[in-house]
Structure formats: C-alpha cells, structure tokens
Amino acid sequence: MKVTVDEMVCEANAVCMGLAPEVFDVDDDDQLHILLPEPPPDMLDRVRHAVRSCPKAALSLEE
C-alpha cells in the first residue's frame, strides 16, 4: 500500500500526524510530509484510520 497527499487540498491540520506520527509529519511551514509512503503491515490499520480522518480528504491510500 502507498499513502499519498493532494498538496492542493491539504491544510496541514495534523490530524493524520496525531494518529500515525511514524508516517505523517507537519513541518514548521505547515507542509505535510509522508515519512513512510509504504507503511509496514503492522501500521496499516492506523494509517487507514488517519486517511479516513483527514478533515479535507487530502490523503489517499492505494492498495
């Protein structure tokens, strides 16, 4: 699986970072960075939850 972000939609609310900080990071310039674009299987439930919880629906998960 691969996580992607639509940077034109993302507002860097950091909800995803709060749910899966090993995968998502928001820097000081309010830019979201995906630290693990292909997270390991043991993180997938949390990553799915983070993707679903994005208030702007800026994240997607390609299976």
**Surface-to-core class of residue 29, CB atoms within 10 Å of its CB (0-12 exposed, 13-18 middle, 19+ buried):** exposed
- Per-residue pLDDT of 4-63, as tens digits, reads 999 999 999 999 999 999 999 999 999 999 999 999 999 999 999 999 999 999 999 998
What pLDDT is stored for residue 63 in this prediction? 83
pTM of the model: 0.93
Classify burial at 48, counting beta carbons within 10 Å of its beta carbon; exposed 0-12, middle 13-18, buried 19 or more: middle
